[in-house]
Amino acid sequence: MYEVEVKVPADLEAVRERLEATDADRKRTVVQEDTYYDAPHRSFVETDEALRIRRESIPETGTDESRITYKGPLLDDESKSREEFETAVGDGTTMDAVLTNLGFEATATVRKERERYGLEEYTITLDAVDDVGEYVEVETDVEREADVESARDGAYALLERLDLDPDEGVRTSYLGLLLES
């Protein structure tokens, strides 16, 4: 599975108004805390990989869930497209203990409030990231690497429909942006 993602800085209120004027389907708002790890046998910063435990709470329902995600190196110079593997874990605290005992080291935690919309085959996420700022992400998943370019072009077109400039795309992760600030 390949995640195709384009992220730009944006005024979330203005984008929200534009989305409400389209056929976008408002999904839900979530709060996520992502704890990132580095491996004992290689530096994920150097290899452009990521390993995280995501703890997500849904205020509307009062539910919580945790997932572990591995993200491979970026596939191109234009977007944040990469191979990704993710699965649910029953207890994020226990998963943290497993990783820590295997020598993985927690490096940072990123907290964000995310408001999600669906439009066509894309998910549009309005992100307010603590200590980083406001961003819009447009993403979709594709099965084959050969489909990444056309999916990325579709994400660019969707950004333009929302009066956002794809040329302002940010390839740095929220973790990277947090560490830079």
CB 81 within 8 A of CB 5: yes
The widest CA-to-CA distance across the chain, in whole angstroms, is 50
* CA separation for the pair 36, 175 (Å, rounded): 8
State the distance between the two ends of the chain, measured CA to CA, in whole angstroms. 32
Average pLDDT (8-35) is: 95
**Residue 154 in this model has a pLDDT that exceeds 90:** yes
Alpha helical stretches, state H, the chain? 12-20, 44-47, 92-101, 148-161, 174-180
The pLDDT score that the predictor gives to residue 61 is: 87
The pLDDT score that the predictor gives to residue 155 is: 96
* CA separation for the pair 70, 85 (Å, rounded): 5
* CA separation for the pair 171, 108 (Å, rounded): 18
CB 152 within 8 A of CB 78: yes
* CA separation for the pair 136, 13 (Å, rounded): 11
Write down the pTM of the prediction. Answer: 0.85
Q: pLDDT tens for residues 70-124?
A: 999 988 888 888 999 999 999 999 999 999 999 999 999 999 999 999 999 999 9
The pLDDT score that the predictor gives to residue 76 is: 84
SS3 state at 18? helix
The pLDDT score that the predictor gives to residue 60 is: 83
65-71: long-range pairs with CB below 8 Å, 24+: 66/90, 66/91, 66/92, 66/95, 68/95, 71/3
Average pLDDT (31-42) is: 96
Which helix (H) or strand (E) segment holds residue 6: the answer is strand 2-9
Taking the domain 2-180, which CATH number applies? 2.40.320.10
